[in-house]
Amino acid sequence: MFPIGFNHSIDIEEPVVIPPPPSPLDFKNKVIIITGACSGIGAAVVMEFAKWGGLLTVAGRNKESLRAVADKVIDAYDHSPLIVHADMINEEEVRHIVDKTIATYGHIDVLVNSASVIEIGNIETTTMAQYDRVMDVNLRAVFQLTSLAVPYLIETRGCIVNLSSVNGLRSFPGVLVYNLSKAALDQFTRCVALELKEKGVRCNSVNPVVDVTEIQKSDDIDDEAYQKWLEHSGTISEDGREGLEENVAGVIAFLASDMASFITGASLPVDGGRHAMCPR
Annotation says 178 is catalytic: yes
Predicted confidence (pLDDT) per residue in 226-248, tens digit? 565 555 554 444 444 554 799 99
Predicted confidence (pLDDT) per residue in 64-96, tens digit? 999 999 999 999 999 999 999 999 999 999 999
Q: Provide CB contacts within 8 A for 181, sequence distance 6+.
A: 134, 135, 138, 139
Pick 220 or 53 by higher pLDDT.
53
CA–CA separation, 279 and 171 (whole Å): 10
pLDDT band at residue 22 under the 50/70/90 scheme: low
Task: State the average pLDDT for the chain.
Answer: 87
CA atoms 75, 77, 79, 81: torsion sign: negative
Judge whether 5 and 85 are in contact, CB under 8 Å: no
Per the residue annotation, which of 77, 105, 178, 226 is the catalytic one?
178
pLDDT band at residue 61 under the 50/70/90 scheme: very high
Give the residue extent of every domain in the chain.
Answer: 31-272
Judge whether 66 and 83 are in contact, CB under 8 Å: yes
Judge whether 119 and 133 are in contact, CB under 8 Å: yes
Please say if the pLDDT value at position 215 is more than 70: no
Mean pLDDT value of segment 41-62? 97
Please say if the pLDDT value at position 217 is more than 70: no
Predicted confidence (pLDDT) per residue in 123-156, tens digit? 999 999 999 999 999 999 999 999 999 999 999 9
CATH number of 31-272, picked from 3.40.50.720, 1.20.1260.10, 3.40.50.300, 3.40.50.1460: 3.40.50.720
pLDDT band at residue 24 under the 50/70/90 scheme: confident
The pTM score is 0.84
